[in-house]
Structure 1
Amino acid sequence: MTSLLFQSISITLFLGMMFVISVSNAILMKKISRFEGILHGPLVSVLIPARNEEKNISRCVYSLLNQDYRNLELIVLDDSSSDATLQILESMTSEFSNLRVIKGEALPEGWLGKHWACHQLAREAKGEILLFTDADTVHASSTVSHAIGVMIGEKTDLLTAIVKERTDTLGELITIPFMIHSVFSIFPLAIAYGKRFKSLAVTSGQFMMFRKQSYLSIGGHEAVKDHGVDDISLGRLTKKAGMKWRLYDASDLVECKMYDGFKAAYFGFLKNYFSLFDYRIIPAAFVWSWMLTLDFFPLIVALLFIFGVAIPESAGILSLISLTLS
């Protein structure tokens, strides 16, 4: 019973810390849409790697070509798609003069696929600002103008953003929000925005806006060509170089359909999760076990307490508090 009480105290304290971090992040993670949009500014190159995206590519491209920001080029790389992605893109080029479609080159040794695609896109870009985004995103017409307003106003080298994750099935609803919750409640922006912890950075590949000179100065995607999570690694390199990285909220401007169904969401989550730990099993398993304990232990103890099972009253009360905090 003593160990049960100790466990309840530990979890309550940890969840209390998560609550404080969440409140702090809610204050610091500003919405991009609250910044004044800029309609005329430096050339922005919007860069999209696409592979077998026939279901999504039209909506994504149209949303980006209908931006209110005037000085924009869109480059889409078809990465050897086996579906109709390339044909759809080529049919759109006659409609939009600022759309370029390129075919991906063969993957060199030592590179991961998406990283190589992004490297080729950056090589083709003419803009002073590079916006990397995914083919399964849809952007409000003012997304780029607001983001440029942030980049210029806040003098940011890398602007990344949390977007709205669309979940259409129960399986997606179970898995995808957990990723966002983990970042929002565990990652302390108040500390990350400081200069002391150089590698403390979270970056979303769904929305990465770089100053091109800053991107090139850290080595671009070539510097992370074999890293499991390129976006996280690029964010860390930006901070280590002493440049300004910031995380914003673009959930009211950008929507993403990350995965299709529970199976895709589960395996996609596992891939990204383990790569955060450089594929080291022990630390990854420890953190995973602790997160499961946080989720289920207070619920189990609280239910035992409610149904009159003989446990310390303090443990039951702490578990109820933990559930409230979570």
Structure 2
Amino acid sequence: MLPVIFCVFIVVVAIQFIYYVLIFGKLAFVKPKQSNPKKIPVSVIVCAKNEAENVAKYIPLLAEQNYPDFEIVLIDDASFDNTLEIFEEFEKQYHNVRLVKVANNEAFWGNKKFALTLGIKAARKEYLLFTDADCYPTSKNWITEMSSNFTMQKTIVLGYGAYEKVPNSFLNKIIRFETLLAATQYFSWARIGKPFMGVGRNLAYKREEFFKVDGYRDHLKIRSGDDDLFINQVAYKKNTTVCYTPDSFTYSRPKTTFSAWFRQKRRHVSTASHYKASDKFQLGLFYASQLSFFVLPVILLIFQYQWIAVTAMIGFRYLFTWLVLGFAAGKLKEKDVMIWYPIIELVVIFTQLNIFITNLFSKPVHWK
């Protein structure tokens, strides 16, 4: 069996090389492009449920954006804290704030997609820019940077939703590394013409893309996926582009306990099971190669089978992955996580395995 395992290990390293260098390199090694500011009308859409503390801090940052033509659509999804009252104050304070009140609906109770649909229908601008209630833009040029990527053909813009840095927190580095890796994947696949997801923390598209497919109709019963399932359905090579300039980032507070982050990732993984078959295959193949890289060489080294070649391939794999992710981390301002890369990667891979197994036996909880 050892010769077979050795051959499989060679294939695994080759697959990793294809993913990291040939695919992820489309983000890592691309030259930065200059933005071309536009003055298109934009509706910034924020859906909140029991987010009083966050919206009180972050909505004013949206209102202060340096952009000539935008409105803010605030959606209160039947909150039972004072989120609605804060929204009503903002509506009085800012001339460009529109408020959408969503009452509890027995057929759509707790379904964020229903609330977002009402907000999108209420929006008056042609271009929609989404972020979450617990997110804030990194600069006053967020709308400018994201909207500058729209063209006659490019009607979907994928942005980067980052997490705040927490000093001296190893969990924070794990969370930000996982976010970096995910962004490297969906940015890179979009750049080669095969977009498969986006994140609602920072996402933009033209209204017509929503109504072309009757919004979330095809996956309305799936509680999650207002961002990634929608993009998986409507995005393709000609209509999708990416934006990763530093001024276009949004930030949110990361989870502070491993259990909370684990529950969050369970929801994300369960949603990915509804992607197109081709996207599930490429994601599954990538993860299988990641896991196999850590399992197969251990077996070979225990029995000292071709140990020189095995050690050389391990070193080669870490060389090109560290290089590619390092350049990607530079673009996304996450360089510090790469110092701990080998350890963090191992934690993330086996956490993902744990999540997959856990999701087989129980369903994760979704929108509040």
Deviations, residues 276-295 of structure 1 (Å, cap 9, x unaligned)? 1139xx98996696255256
Structure 2 CA distance for aligned equivalents of residues 29 and 130 of structure 1: 27
In the other structure, the counterpart of 2:170 is 170
Could you tell me how far 1:179 is from its partner in structure 2?
4.1
Contact 1:301 1:315 in 2 (8 A): no
Structure 1 CA distance for aligned equivalents of residues 266 and 141 of structure 2: 34
In the other structure, the counterpart of 2:143 is 144
Contact 1:164 1:252 in 2 (8 A): no
RMSD of aligned residue pairs (Cα, Å): 3.3
Contact 2:163 2:176 in 1 (8 A): yes
In the other structure, the counterpart of 2:304 is 310
Structure 2: gaps spanning 5 or more residues: 322-368
Structure 1: gaps spanning 5 or more residues: 194-199
Question: SS in structure 1 opposite 2:146?
Answer: helix
Question: SS in structure 1 opposite 2:266?
Answer: helix
Paired letter, 1:22:
F
Residues 1:207 and 2:196 aligned together: no
Contact 1:131 1:210 in 2 (8 A): yes
Q: In structure 2, do the counterparts of structure 1 residues 135 and 298 end up closer, same or farther at CA, with 3 Å as the change threshold?
A: farther
Where do residues 22-37 of structure 1 align in structure 2 (5 Å cutoff)? 22-27=24-29, 34-37=34-37
Paired letter, 2:3:
T
Paired letter, 2:225:
V
Paired positions, count: 309
Identity of aligned residues (%): 17
Where do residues 1-326 of structure 1 align in structure 2 (5 Å cutoff)? 1-20=2-21, 21-27=23-29, 34-38=34-38, 41-109=39-107, 113-139=111-137, 140-152=139-151, 155-168=153-166, 169-185=169-185, 188-193=189-194, 200-227=195-222, 228-239=224-235, 244-257=239-252, 259-261=254-256, 262-278=258-274, 290=288, 293-294=291-292, 296-297=294-295, 300=298, 310-312=304-306, 313-326=308-321
Q: In structure 2, do the counterparts of structure 1 residues 190 and 157 end up closer, same or farther at CA, with 3 Å as the change threshold?
A: closer
Could you tell me how far 1:11 is from its partner in structure 2?
2.6
Paired letter, 2:211:
L
Contact 1:301 1:319 in 2 (8 A): no
Question: SS in structure 2 opposite 1:55?
Answer: helix
Deviations, residues 83-116 of structure 1 (Å, cap 9, x unaligned)? 3322333333332111123321223526761111
Paired letter, 1:148:
S
Paired letter, 1:202:
M
In the other structure, the counterpart of 2:346 is none
In the other structure, the counterpart of 1:196 is none
Paired letter, 1:157:
T
Question: SS in structure 2 opposite 1:159?
Answer: strand
Contact 1:48 1:134 in 2 (8 A): yes
Contact 1:164 1:250 in 2 (8 A): no
Structure 2 CA distance for aligned equivalents of residues 28 and 288 of structure 1: 22
Paired letter, 1:245:
T
Structure 1 CA distance for aligned equivalents of residues 196 and 93 of structure 2: 39
Moved more, 12-21 or 243-252: 243-252
Structure 1 length-normalised TM: 0.80
Question: SS in structure 2 opposite 1:230?
Answer: coil
Deviations, residues 154-191 of structure 1 (Å, cap 9, x unaligned)? 64211121232224343243244224314524853354
Q: In structure 2, do the counterparts of structure 1 residues 214 and 166 end up closer, same or farther at CA, with 3 Å as the change threshold?
A: same
Paired letter, 1:96:
Y
